Structure 1
Amino acid sequence: MEMTVPAFIAVTLGMVVFFIGALLTREVAFLKDYNIPEPVSGGIAVALVTWGFYVLTDRRIVFDLSVRDYLLVLFFSTIGLNARIADLFKGGRLLVVLLCLTIGFMILQNLVGLVGTLLFGLDRPLAVLLGSAALIGGHGTAIAWGPQIEAITGFAAAEEVGIASATLGLVLAALIGGPIGKSLIDRNGLEGDRDAPPVVGLEFPEKGEPAEVVNHISLMRATLAAHVAILLGWFAHQAIAQMGLMLPLFVPCLLVGIVMSNTVPYVFPHISWPTGSRALAVISDFSLSIFLAMSLMSMQLWTLAELGGPILGVLAMQVAMTVCFALFVVFRTAGRDYQAAVLSSGFAGFALGATPTAIANMSAVTKRYGAAPLAFVVLPLVSAFFVDLANAFVIRFFVGL
């Protein structure tokens, strides 16, 4: 049986979950010291409660997440509005480097899945559901490929394995990114630019320090700019779809935001534009936090019970490989500086989970150590724009082995 929570209540609960996470992060030293994002702490705690409710009553709690998609689009629009063309030019090399690393990682992720299937006597095509289809691809890719893997192998629970792997991957991605960032930053004595304007989220205030005020005009101005970016991005999305190219809606909204912030202030210099403002950072933080809180609180953790010992063993191998790749490959190749450390934290987030998880990991790190604006533009372009295209070819190759 199911209990469906309506959309309005689901959003409200998402806000409550965020504050639960903020309380947990403040009171539990581990969560604070290792930069675990507040919506992750709260979302996992609530998901555990709904799991307990399911075990006791055999009734599933299902949340209407229709509003969550709006929050995701709003968030990426604010990221685009915060992007400066100078940063994009500086990030050209980093974008190519991260893209190449990601493609290489997808191949490596499926190789680990393949080795795992051989070690534990599983069907070879299941490797992609324990690799890039479920992990870097997420729930959508796992659901899309599950029936095809089932048809090839005759394994009736292929789709369920993919969904459960993606769920566990999302949880783990949200937990390892912060510690990776902390390890790299502390070990190498790195620090961000604390004078730079915030990209997403605001730094934690020092004890006794008065909070800076964001007035209602600046907040409304930033919200309007984000909504105009969404509107134009929606039209662009329709045009792109008619050309036969399927992209998530938030990608054109991100790109439109970038174009707007690098044209409107120069064409209309007397307009007060929100790029780099604390008001825009508040909207970014709000939309991302509630999106992630809703995503994690709605996880059906009982599906993880469907993962047997061999499958959990393969996923443990994937986590170990991801941590090593982020620490020793991504960080060194991306420049061994603070920006590279933040990117490594984010890379772990989308390598096992999703782009919003990656952004949340980076936001938790930059709140504590200082801004890294380029990372917040480069990583979404790679993880949201290029990965799905490349992953389709990689998955198809490994399924045919």
Structure 2
Amino acid sequence: MTTVAVPGFLSLTIAIVVFFVGTGLNHSIAPLRRWNIPEAVTGGLLAALATLCAYRFFDTTISFDLGARDLLLLYFFTGIGLNARLDDLLAGGKPLLVLLLLTLVFLVIQNLIAAGSVAVLGLPEGITVLLGSASLIGGHGTTIAWAPMITQKFGLVNAMEVGIAAATLGLVVASLVGGPVARLLISRYGLSGPTGARPMIGLPKEKDASDGDDVSHISLLRTILVLNVAVLLGYALDEIFTEFGIRLPLFVACLLVAIVLTNTLPRLMPAMHWPTRTRALALISDLSLNVFLAMSLMSMQLWTLGGLGPSLVLVLGLQTIAAVLYMLFVVFPAMGRNYEAAVISSGFSGISLGATPTAIANMTAVTKVHGAAPMAFIILPLVSAFFIDIANAIVIGFFVR
């Protein structure tokens, strides 16, 4: 087996090409547009299939340096924080609690499905959580963190491989089901977004800069400077968290710093040009998200799915069906049966099966076509990237013990 290690700059360049391939395919294939499949998902999955072919037919493993991807993730979540006005956060109090409760309930359901399937199929003890919230709600990071402990406790020598394979398949499915769910709900209930709303992530399909908020090199550089300062402060806050024994993803610290900055500095210095809800910030956030997602998907090692086996694929199929039904018949009604609820439902696929960036990508693809949904972009990352990680850790610890 030959290993080809693609360096960072070339990996970034390939990711941009992959995105444009996805854009071309979405433009040419109407169902991809109709079902709001993100361009980065289309191109990224095609690239992942190409690396799978290289592995199967040419005995070549292609690995990508993903350092740039990690920075783009920080940019993206910092941008979400800069758009989070205090008024929106206060208004999002009740929806935030409702979405958090719905996610906690589904966390339990997901693990019950995994436990029941493991018992019926006679799978090894200890694999339950790897087919439940550890790999699906938790994703690759949670799987990698807990797999060694599961191996030690239950003697499951392939715990890491099973968990990563389940998380990979979950990420693929989450990327594909969110858009169709939103499309179905929007069409069935005749929903649409507000007119004239300021962009949060990405510019709408129909460009309109009539409000004077045009994009220039000045506005872009000013926005990048604010993002960089917020990210640097996020690093400092993360160090403080670590000293107190609080382990959270770095982007959570950046998100929190950005929320504080955007709700204090503009009030203290009203003459300052601040990037909240500007086209420049929406453009940078969209760029960061799309390249991040393209890099994430093109670097997936799909051959690890071969280690799942038919029974494990069956379990993940059941998890997918449960997630889609939950989005349609629980999340959408509970969140209000309106346009924001439809967008949140599309993003719930990322919470339940994939990852927070996948959820945001699904919602972005929907809002570019149907209109802005600012509440969705504020409350979903807080639930997915912050609160639910704590609850998931408690549940995983229970299963491991």
For the criterion TM > 0.5, the same-fold answer is yes
* In structure 2, C-alpha distance between the alignment counterparts of 1:240 and 1:157, rounded to whole Å: 32
Instruction: Tell me the residue number matched to 1:319.
Output: 320
Counterpart check, 1:214 vs 2:198: no
* In structure 1, C-alpha distance between the alignment counterparts of 2:144 and 2:260, rounded to whole Å: 34
Instruction: Tell me the residue number matched to 2:210.
Output: none
Instruction: Tell me the residue number matched to 1:345.
Output: 346
CA contact (8 A) 1:65 1:294 kept: yes
Amino acid at match of 1:346: G
Instruction: Tell me the residue number matched to 2:129.
Output: 128
- Cα deviation, residue 42, structure 1: 0.3
Counterpart check, 1:269 vs 2:251: no
Instruction: Tell me the residue number matched to 2:62.
Output: 61
* In structure 2, C-alpha distance between the alignment counterparts of 1:248 and 1:90, rounded to whole Å: 26
- 1:61-95: CA deviation from partner (whole Å, max 9, x where unpaired): 00000111110001111111111111100000111
* In structure 1, C-alpha distance between the alignment counterparts of 2:264 and 2:400, rounded to whole Å: 45
CA contact (8 A) 1:76 1:253 kept: yes
- 1:262-317: CA deviation from partner (whole Å, max 9, x where unpaired): 12112111112111111110000000100000000000001111110100000000
TM-score, with length taken from structure 1 = 0.96
- 1:229-275: CA deviation from partner (whole Å, max 9, x where unpaired): 11111111111111110111111211111111112112111112111
CA contact (8 A) 1:77 1:226 kept: yes
Instruction: Tell me the residue number matched to 1:163.
Output: 164
Matching of residues 1-400 of structure 1 within 5 Å: 1-205=2-206, 214-400=215-401
> How many residue pairs were aligned?
396
CA contact (8 A) 1:7 1:64 kept: yes
Amino acid at match of 2:71: Y
Amino acid at match of 1:140: G
* In structure 1, C-alpha distance between the alignment counterparts of 2:221 and 2:21, rounded to whole Å: 27
- 1:35-69: CA deviation from partner (whole Å, max 9, x where unpaired): 00010000000000111011111110000001111
CA contact (8 A) 2:175 2:350 kept: yes
* In structure 2, C-alpha distance between the alignment counterparts of 1:277 and 1:101, rounded to whole Å: 32
- Cα deviation, residue 189, structure 1: 1.1
* In structure 1, C-alpha distance between the alignment counterparts of 2:364 and 2:221, rounded to whole Å: 23
* In structure 2, C-alpha distance between the alignment counterparts of 1:398 and 1:186, rounded to whole Å: 41
Moved more, 264-273 or 17-26: 264-273
- Cα deviation, residue 124, structure 1: 3.8
Amino acid at match of 2:141: G
Amino acid at match of 1:54: Y
CA contact (8 A) 2:126 2:156 kept: no
CA contact (8 A) 1:342 1:372 kept: yes
CA contact (8 A) 1:110 1:398 kept: no
CA contact (8 A) 1:62 1:298 kept: yes
* In structure 2, C-alpha distance between the alignment counterparts of 1:158 and 1:354, rounded to whole Å: 20
* In structure 2, C-alpha distance between the alignment counterparts of 1:296 and 1:335, rounded to whole Å: 32
CA contact (8 A) 1:21 1:38 kept: yes
* In structure 2, C-alpha distance between the alignment counterparts of 1:350 and 1:13, rounded to whole Å: 27
CA contact (8 A) 1:192 1:370 kept: yes
Structure 2 unmatched runs, 5+: 208-212
Q: Secondary structure at the match of 2:36?
A: coil
Structure 1 unmatched runs, 5+: 207-211
Amino acid at match of 2:283: V
- 1:335-384: CA deviation from partner (whole Å, max 9, x where unpaired): 11111111111011121010000000000010111000111111111111
* In structure 2, C-alpha distance between the alignment counterparts of 1:181 and 1:307, rounded to whole Å: 30
Instruction: Tell me the residue number matched to 1:209.
Output: none
TM-score, with length taken from structure 2 = 0.96
